[in-house]
A and B are shown apart, each in its own frame.
Chain A
Amino acid sequence: DVKDAFLELAIGCASVICCRSSPKQKALVTRLVKTKTGSTTLAIGDGANDVGMLQEADIGVGISGVEGMQAVMSSDIAIAQFRFLERLLLVHGHWCYRRISSMICYFFYKNIVFGFTLFFYEIYASFTGQAVYNDWFLSFYNVFFTSLPVIALGVFDQDVSSRLCLKFPLLYQEGIQNVLFSWLRIVAWAFNGVLSAMVIFFFCIRATQHQAFHKGGEVVGLEILGTTMYTCVVWVVNCQMTLSISYFTYIQHLFIWGSIILWYIFLMAYGAMAPSISTTAYKVFIESCAPAGMYWLLTLLVLISSLLPYFIYSAIQVRFFPSYHQMIQWIRSDGQSDDPEYCHMVRQRSLRPTTVGYTARLEAKSRSSRKGGEDHQ
Chain B
Amino acid sequence: MGVIFIPVGLVTLRASHCVIFHSMVVEIVDRYDIDCVPEPSRMDKVSYIQDDSIPKNCSRFMKVHKYMKAPIYIYYQLDNYYQNHRRYVKSRSDKQLLDGQKYRDTSSCQPVESNNNRPIVPCGLIAWSLFNDTFEFIREGAELKVNRKNIAWKSDRGHKFGKNVYPFNFQNGTLIGGGKLNPEIPLSDQEDLIVWMRTSALPSFRKLYGRIEEDLDVDDVVVVNLMNNYNTYSFGGKKKLVLSTSSWLGGKNDFLGHACVFVGCSSLTLAIIFMLLHALWRHELFTLEQEKLFRVIRTRSTYI
Contact = CB atoms under 8 A, between A and B. Distances in A.
* A-B complex is real: yes
Interface of A: 14, 124-126, 128-130, 132, 170, 173, 176-177, 203, 205-226, 275-276, 279, 282-283, 287-288, 292-294, 297-298, 300-301, 304-305, 308, 311-312, 315, 319, 322, 324, 327, 330-331, 334, 336, 346, 349-350, 352, 354
Contact of A354 (B159, B259, B304): B304
Given A207-B256, A222-B89, A282-B155, A212 B251 contact: yes
B201 A212 contact: no
Given A177-B300, A354-B304, A126 B85 contact: yes
Given A128-B85, A210-B77, A210-B205, 20 more contacts: A124-B202, A128-B84, A130-B86, A203-B259, A211-B27, A211-B246, A212-B208, A214-B250, A217-B211, A217-B246, A217-B251, A219-B205, A222-B89, A222-B200, A282-B155, A301-B14, A315-B1, A315-B4, A319-B277, A349-B298
Contacts, number: 191
Interface in B69-89: 71, 73, 75, 77, 82, 84-87, 89
- Shortest 5 CB-CB contacts between residues of A and residues of B: A211-B251, A212-B251, A225-B201, A217-B73, A130-B86
Interface of B: 1, 4, 7, 10-11, 14, 18, 25, 27, 71, 73, 75, 77, 82, 84-87, 89, 94-95, 98, 151, 153-155, 159-160, 198-208, 211, 242, 244, 246-253, 255-256, 259-260, 263, 266-267, 270, 274, 277-278, 286, 289, 292-294, 296-298, 300-301, 303-304
B208 A217 contact: yes
Given A207-B259, A222-B89, A279 B94 contact: yes
A374 to B, nearest CB: 25
B249 A294 contact: yes
A297 B17 CA distance: 10
Nearest to A348: B297
A352 B84 contact: no
Contacts of B207: 219
Contacts of A217: 71, 73, 151, 208, 211, 246, 251
B250 A177 contact: no
B201 A211 contact: no
Nearest to B95: A276
B263 A210 contact: no
